[in-house]
Each structure stands twice: as structure tokens, then as C-alpha cells.
Amino acid sequence: FSPGCSQPTLNMHPRNSSQAQPFLLAGLPGMAQFHHWVFLPFGLMYLLAVLGNGTILLVVRAHRQLHQPMYYFLLMLATTDLGLTLSTLPTVLRVFWLGAMEISFPACLIQMFCIHAFSFMESSVLLAMAFDRYVAICCPLRYSSILTSARVAQIGLGIICRCTLSLLPLICLLTWLPFCRSHVLSHPYCLHQDIIRLACTDATLNSLYGLTLVLVAILDFVLIALSYTMIFRTVQGIASREEQAKALNTCVSHFCAVLIFYIPLAGLSIMHRYGRNAAPISHAVMANVYLFVPPILNPILYTMKSKAICKVLMGLLCQRAAWPGHAQNC
């Protein structure tokens, strides 16, 4: 080209040029020919997660006897699980069913924000539920005065603000990274750990900020463990074994929800930071366990252990199954 010619396309900033290229999502390594069949179990998991959490939302909102702090927090948990499930659904459907691998940089950022925001919210909601159990068991006489409906709403709003404001800098930092290496991701959805490894400049600041958010989630877990320590100390002071079992039984669902959320989260974080030599399928399995297991199991756990929810559901099923005019016989 002659020096006098204007070529704006060649003067494009490399960062903008690299971000104009789409990212390529990936299915399960080594199973490309079976992607249509792989979508069947994924589709079943999505169906279970949406039906389970959707049922919790409808039941708690529709029945006034469930309008209590404990069930309001359960409503928040179901909302975050539903949001986490729907955040990955569009790209997983496109990759496994339609074979469409491309995703634009802005769309990838939006999906990454939604996945990590709802995940961060779930950690916050589990912490709030631990506080609810602590107050219910350690300060039962003050429970209704401490956890009023207004205060529960404030906690919910605080969770939304905490997670949104914490993740906005993560998005801003990513927009300044150039991606001149391979644009192939490791999963059928966008994760922060997966995106920054494709940057062709130093992404230490991004990694440190991501690590900070992981440490905040670990702090949530430490506070949950501290609340359970105080709960166990209080329960040990109850003279009746029957009352001890009754008190601990109210914590079983939440305790299981904590385990099925934080164990895969810890495994995924360790895998991304120290498992670079691990088999690609192991990364895929750990990420899918982290994203799919909690939304599927949480509604099952709380439906099985909550007599109030179980009673409402059984009543609804009986009304559906009974002939008109005979629902009272169920």
C-alpha cells in the first residue's frame, strides 16, 4: 500500500480486533460424535432443575403459611439456582444439539457475568440461611424480632448489590485484555478462569481479582462453619435427646446444600489453577458437577426434609388426582 492511502482496518487497536473475533465453545472432549446423545442427560438435568426450583418458587409464593423467613431464604436459593441453570442453557443447547460453537465476546461476557453472579449469590444466600438457623436455634425467643420480613428483604437486596458490584470490575478488566491466541474455550459456556488463560498479555490483575472473589466465598464458608459450631454447642446444652435431634434435623437440608455447593467449587478452583496437566475431560466433568448438581439436588433436599413444603405439595397432587368434589378424601 502507498503511504498516502488510509487503511483504517489496519490501524485498528489489537485489543479491539481480537475481541471482534468470536470465541469457540467446546463440548465434552473426545465425544464430538456423540454430542446429540450427550444432550439427552443434559436436557434431563435442565428439566429437573427448572421443574424443581420452579415448583419451590410457586409453592412458597402461593401459600401464606410458608411466608416465613426460613422459606423466604429458600425462595432466594431457588431463584439463584434457577438463574444459574438458565444462564448456561442457551449455549449448551447450541453446542450439543445444534453444533453451533461460536459466541461473540459481548455475549460471552454477559454469560460469564450471569454464571458467576448467581454462583456468588448462592454462596451469600447459604450464609444468610446459616444465620437464620443460628438465630432459630441459639436465640429462639428473639427469632421473630430479629428476622422480620423487612430485614429479610434488606438481606436479599444486600446480596444482590454485593454480588453485582463485586463482579462489575471483573467485566471491566476483561474488556481491556487482548486475545491473540486460540479463541477456543474448554466448556460449552463462558467461565472467567477459562477466558483469561487465552489472553496474550499479562492477566495477573484479573487472576488476583478472581482469586479475591474466591477468598470471599471461602470467607462465607468459614462464617457458615462458625455458625454451625455455635449451633452444635447450643444443641449440646439441651437436656432432651429428642429435642436435640429435632433441632439438628432443621439444619440437615442446609448442611447438605452447603456441602454440594462448596465441594465442587473448591474442586473446580483447584483444577483451573493447578490441574493444567490433568485430562481435559476432568475439567469438563468438574465444571458440570459444579453448575448442575446444586440446582438439581437442592429442591429435592428441601422438599424431602421440609414437612410444610411436602404437605403443600401432597395437597396439590391430591387435588389434581382426585375427582371433582372428592379432593377432601385424599
Give me the residue spans of the domains in the chain.
Answer: 28-307
Does the structure show a pLDDT above 90 at 161? Answer: yes
Counting Cα atoms < 13 Å in the Cβ hemisphere of 28 gives 17
Does the structure show a pLDDT above 60 at 6? Answer: no
**How much is the pLDDT for 4?**
45
Reported as a single tens digit per residue, the pLDDT across 293-324 is 999 999 998 888 777 788 777 777 776 655 45
How distant, in Å, are the alpha carbons of 192, 194, 270 from that of 211? Answer: 11, 14, 11
Per DSSP, the residues of 54-107 read HHHHHHHHH-GGG-SHHHHHHHHHHHHHHHHHHHHHHHHHIIIII---EE-HHH
Answer CATH for 28-307 from 1.20.1070.10, 2.60.40.10, 3.90.79.10, 3.30.470.10: 1.20.1070.10
Reported as a single tens digit per residue, the pLDDT across 172-229 is 988 888 887 678 888 889 988 888 888 888 888 888 898 899 899 999 999 999 999 9
Cell of 308: 410444610
**How much is the pLDDT for 163?**
93
